[in-house]
A and B are shown apart, each in its own frame.
Chain A
Amino acid sequence: MTISLAVDVPALIALLCALVACGTLGNFLVLRKEAMTGDAIAHSVLPGLVAGFLVTGTRSISAMFIGAACAGIASILLSGWARRATRLEPGAPLGIVFTGLFALGVVLLETQGARQVDLDPECVLFGSLETLFYVPVLDAPWYTGVPRAIWTLGAAAALALMFALLFLKELSLLAFDPSAARHLGVAPRWLERAFLVIVSASIVASFEAVGSVLVIGILACPALLAAPHAKSVKGQIIISLAAGALLSVLGYSIAALAPQLFGTPTALNSAGMIAVVLAIAVPLSHALRRRA
């Protein structure tokens, strides 16, 4: 397999940025037993995407991004309110809110003349890794040819990593003993909200390039496979990102090589294959720990 600068490198960079953006904060979601939150946000962005189109009349990335981010944040606030108001177990309000918002998205799509939005289901599910080409422009700096998605994902990855490093001890205590964290005043409400807003931003930024299936996968799987081997939160983050990166490259390579090996002309979807590899790695990692 030869690596193409124009095709493979942009896809791999986008993939690794999405992994850092979602996988870093995914560790805290898993430690808080809230891995479902990522799933909920990934589903809740649909009405935001449609609303972004309806308000601006265009499919511009800024309109889509703002709409999706607002919907993601709304889903978190609504589920938080539902949890406080009903005393249901934590996952239940999330389930109610994200199915409700996803249904609202479908209704908006069908009834508000937004069908021409061209929200390709395949693109929503599996992203567009295969279409991220590096196209150098003559007489222009090298970076002008870098796909826009990479800049967005790079910014999201830097934001997520910086946030995790700055508030590592506060987010750790919040996951370990939320009552003590709140009582001590080390995890004020703004920090919890900022965390969820940045999780939403990471999901929305990754959505276009890697699709909803892999977004959910990279939020939870790297953290889940690192958990049995980690002795500290920082260690868990490092193991999850390293293992996630290796498995992502492995999945990408299988998607590229498997059709050639089996002599079939059809290519495999990279994001889908990476999600499968990550999902298989989680139980294997736990089995490995039990044997050790």
Chain B
Amino acid sequence: MSAKPCPLDIQNFSAGYGNGELVVRDASFRLRAGAMTALVGPNGAGKSTLLKGALGLLTHADTACVRFFGRPLEEVRARVAYLPQRAEIDWTFPASALDVAAMGLYRKIGFFHRVTGRWKAEARKALALVGMESLENMPIGELSGGQQQRVLLARSLAQGADLLMLDEPFVNVDFATEERLGAVLREACQRGMSVFAVHHDLGDVRRYFDEAVLFDGTVVAHGAIDVALADANLHEAFRLGPPPEEAIP
């Protein structure tokens, strides 16, 4: 039996914006298939830039250093889903929960074809997987923050993605919603999906994730949570100086 291919393999990857300044420098890590991995680091460390750069959404990113499932993104685009930060989406948009879930199918539907009943049935199935089937006709603007995130997750499931890349999925949702979202992501992993999410709250990384990439413009540490987020690594990433026991001569 062959091992599952690595969902995301980044080697010596750099990315930045038009002004020439590199926000991500020489980053290297490999995600474990079927795991929930958190991308953790201080504000402004370039976590979102890393995600967007790897997905080819920035003009200044060396995407040749990035492999998804052992291949360039172009060959496996449908297997990779991306959920941006909430602020990047227009939640006043005139669309229902079902319309948004069906957006994940647009690539399969292709140009010049309409979203017919068959595709709507598939979108409905995806909504059911995240427990949103009863709200399929609700305008997305009238859903709560957590419900909106679940609809976006349904869009990724409808897409048939094997790797889910999320940018701060737990921001601006209450504790109960966070728990629900975490459970939905865990179920997705149990179905064979891998999850890679930017996460800002160090306090609850262990609650939801199996592994972590500690990031500060480049990879400071990567591995199981206890290893990656060891005190010495956190002090280095958050520039807090050496941990107390090392500071005392």
Set of chain B residues within 8 Å of A84, measured between Cβ atoms: 18, 59
A contact residues around B57 at 8 Å (CB): 179, 182-183
Check A231–B139 contact: CB distance below 8 A: yes
Contact between chains at A176 and B103 (CB < 8 Å): yes
Nearest chain B CB to A105 CB, angstrom units: 28
- Interface size counted on chain B using CB atoms at 8 A: 36
Tell me the total A-B contact number using a CB cutoff of 8 A: 82
B196 in the interface (beta carbon within 8 A): no
Question: B91: nearest residue on chain A (CB-CB)?
Answer: A176
Min Cβ gap A79→B in Å is 14
Residues of A within 8 A of B175 (CB): none
Give the contacting residue for A232; candidates B56, B84, B92, B99; CB below 8 A: B99
Q: Is the CB of A170 within 8 A of B106?
A: yes
Cβ of A33 under 8 Å from chain B: yes
A276 at the interface (CB under 8 A from B): no
Contact for B112 among A166, A172, A231, CB less than 8 A: A166
- Number of interface residues, chain A, beta carbon within 8 A: 30
Question: Contact at A176–B93, with CB atoms within 8 Å?
Answer: yes
User: Is there a chain B Cβ closer than 8 Å to A143's Cβ?
Assistant: no
> Is there contact, CB below 8 Å, between A87 and B95?
no
C-alpha spacing A185/B55, complex, angstroms: 11
27 A-B contacts (beta carbon < 8 Å): A86-B18, A87-B19, A166-B111, A166-B112, A169-B103, A169-B109, A172-B95, A175-B90, A175-B93, A176-B89, A176-B90, A176-B93, A179-B52, A180-B83, A180-B84, A182-B57, A183-B57, A184-B78, A184-B106, A184-B159, A185-B107, A186-B106, A186-B107, A227-B94, A231-B94, A233-B94, A235-B94
Interface residues of B (CB under 8 A from A): 17-19, 52, 55-57, 59, 77-78, 80, 82-84, 88-90, 92-96, 99-100, 103-104, 106-107, 109, 111-112, 114-115, 139, 155, 159
